[in-house]
């Protein structure tokens, strides 16, 4: 702060910038420096933490510039209205519906019969699930023509074991017995109609329906 003149009271009839010195109880004129700038010493700043100082402004501008660059990159529109996406090596691209358990490829239907059963136990297997496919079977029917056997059953055979989805004791001849449900099979699983206590020469009929899909 330049101090040129010190007086007890500002003179009348003069124009200038004066400051009062309460310590010495006097007025003094304030002058600019050689460049015409008024020099002010800041004893204490009232700015809160994080205020818009020159350093903070530089930091904020740098951050905003990074954000602006990202926005420009996203809106670059390289091909029509498409957004350019970089595919990483860890991304696995699958065909539509390829890994969804309810995707649909085709209908599965099977109709089998044995018109000359052996006495005792007989199995009438359906088709085997193709490699790379899954069957979702939802309906199955079984019928025995002849002397009533001990039982007839629809059984799913797989590597993990066998599951009987329908079993009828002492079935009535020529009557269809229906199974409705949900059974998933994969290669080399298959569905079979089994009979216990058959009479030689009798007939066993077996049908099923569902859908085929790609294995996950």
Instruction: Decide: 65 and 56 in contact? Cβ < 8 Å.
Output: no
Contacts of 56 (CB under 8 A, 6+ apart): 50
Record the pTM: 0.53
Pick 104-214's CATH classification: 3.80.30.20, 3.60.20.10, 2.60.120.230, 1.10.1740.110.
Answer: 2.60.120.230
Segment 146-169, tens digit of pLDDT:
999 999 999 999 877 899 999 999
Distance CA 66, CA 60 (A): 10
Segment 39-57, tens digit of pLDDT:
776 666 667 776 766 666 6
Segment 174-201, tens digit of pLDDT:
999 999 999 999 999 999 999 999 999 9
C-alpha dihedral over 79, 83, 84, 86, to 10 degrees? Answer: -150
Domain ranges, ordered by start, for the chain? 104-214
């Amino acid at each position: 702060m330049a101090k040129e003149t010190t007086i007890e009271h500002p003179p009348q009839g003069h124009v200038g910038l004066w400051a009062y010195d309460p310590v010495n109880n006097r007025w003094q004129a304030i002058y600019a420096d050689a460049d015409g700038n008024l020099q002010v010493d800041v004893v204490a700043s009232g700015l809160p933490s994080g205020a818009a100082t020159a350093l903070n402004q530089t930091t904020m501008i740098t951050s905003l510039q990074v954000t602006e660059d990202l926005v420009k990159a996203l809106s670059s529109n390289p091909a029509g209205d498409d957004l350019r996406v970089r595919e990483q090596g860890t991304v696995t691209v699958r065909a539509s519906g390829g890994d969804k358990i309810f995707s649909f490829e085709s209908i599965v239907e099977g109709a089998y019969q044995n018109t000359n059963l052996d006495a005792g136990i007989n199995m009438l297997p359906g088709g085997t699930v193709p490699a790379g496919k899954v069957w979702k079977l939802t309906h199955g029917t079984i019928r025995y023509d002849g002397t009533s056997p001990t039982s007839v059953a629809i059984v799913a055979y797989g590597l993990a074991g066998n599951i009987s989805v329908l079993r009828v004791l002492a079935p009535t001849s020529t009557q269809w017995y229906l199974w409705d449900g949900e059974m998933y099979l994969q290669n080399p699983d298959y569905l079979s109609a089994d009979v216990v206590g058959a009479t030689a020469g009798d007939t066993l009929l077996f049908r099923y329906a569902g859908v085929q899909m790609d294995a996950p």
